[in-house]
Amino acid sequence: MIIIMNLPIISMILSLSACGMSNKAPNEDQQFEDATSIASKTIYDFKVTDINGETFDFSSLKGKKIMIVNTASKCGLTPQYEQLEEVYKQFKDTNFVIIGFPANNFMSQEPGSDKDISEFCVKNYGVSFPMMSKISVKGSDMHEIYIYLTQKKFNGLEDSDVKWNFQKYLIDETGRLAKVIDPRTLPNDPEIIKWIEGK
C-alpha cells in the first residue's frame, strides 16, 4: 500500500531536522562558559562596597593572606569581634588582613544599618580591620563573592554552606581559597595562627 504524505507535513519535518534538534538546554554552552570563567577567578577579581559606601577592590590585597568572616551584632558569637581585632593587630603588618561582611541571614541577628553596625563595632570592640557593607551570605540573594567562596566549581577547593555567623574563609597569598573554618572556632585558634604564620 502506498501512503501519500501531505507536502506541508514533509516540509515541517525537514525544517525541524535542519534546525539540528538536540537534547542540549538553551544557553547550556553559555552557562558552561560562564562557570569556567568564574572558576578561573581569584578573590582579586571582586569589588565590593565597604561599610562607608566606598568601593573596595580585593586586588589591593594581592600578596596578603586574607580571612573573610560574616559578622553579626546580636549573636552569641559576637564576642569573637574581640579575638578578630586582636589577631588583626598582631599580624596586620605581616601581609595579613581580616575582611568583615555583616549579614542578617541567621535569626535576624544583624538588623542594623551599615552606620549602626560601624558604630557598634568601634564602640564595643574597637574594630579597625576593614568592614564591608551588609550583604547576604546564603539563599537566593547570596552575594557573588559568597557564591564564589561556597562552591567548589568556582573556588577550586570545596563546597561549603555558611553554617552561622562568624564562619571564616581563609584565602592564601595567591587569592585562592585555602581553608574553611567553623563559626565556633575562635579567630585565635592555633590552626588559624599556624596558617597565618605559614607553619
Enter the pTM of the model: 0.81
Cα dihedral: 59, 53, 118, 184 (round 10): -40
* Sign of the Cα pseudo-torsion (131, 135, 136, 140, in order): negative
Strands (E), the chain: 47-49, 55-57, 65-71, 96-102, 168-171, 177-181
Residue appearing with cell numbers 593587630: 89
Taking the CB of residue 32, how many other CB atoms lie within 10 A of it?
A: 10
Output the pLDDT for position 92. Answer: 97
3-class secondary-structure state, position 148: helix
CATH number at residue 60: 3.40.30.10
Output the pLDDT for position 193. Answer: 98
Output the pLDDT for position 41. Answer: 82
- Assess if residue 18 is contained within a domain: no
- Assess if residue 153 is contained within a domain: yes
- Assess if residue 19 is contained within a domain: no
- Assess if residue 170 is contained within a domain: yes
Output the pLDDT for position 122. Answer: 97
- The per-residue pLDDT string of the chain (199 residues; one tens digit each, 9 = 90 and over) reads 544 445 454 444 444 444 343 444 444 444 444 555 555 689 999 999 999 999 999 999 999 999 999 999 999 999 999 999 999 999 999 999 999 999 999 999 999 999 999 999 999 999 999 999 999 999 999 999 999 999 999 999 999 999 999 999 999 999 999 999 999 999 999 999 999 999 8
Residues marked active site are found at 75
Residue range of the domain that includes 191? 37-197
- Assess if residue 187 is contained within a domain: yes
Output the pLDDT for position 28. Answer: 43
Cβ-in-10-Å burial (0-12, 13-18, 19+) of 110 comes to buried
Contact 192, 87 (CB under 8 A): yes
Output the pLDDT for position 199. Answer: 87
Output the pLDDT for position 39. Answer: 58
Output the pLDDT for position 35. Answer: 54
Output the pLDDT for position 106. Answer: 98
- Assess if residue 6 is contained within a domain: no
Output the pLDDT for position 33. Answer: 46
d(CA 155, CA 153): 6
Based on the structure, what is the number of domains in the chain?
1
- Assess if residue 12 is contained within a domain: no
- Assess if residue 49 is contained within a domain: yes
Output the pLDDT for position 14. Answer: 44
Of 30, 105, 96, 33, the residue nearest 75 (C-alpha): 105
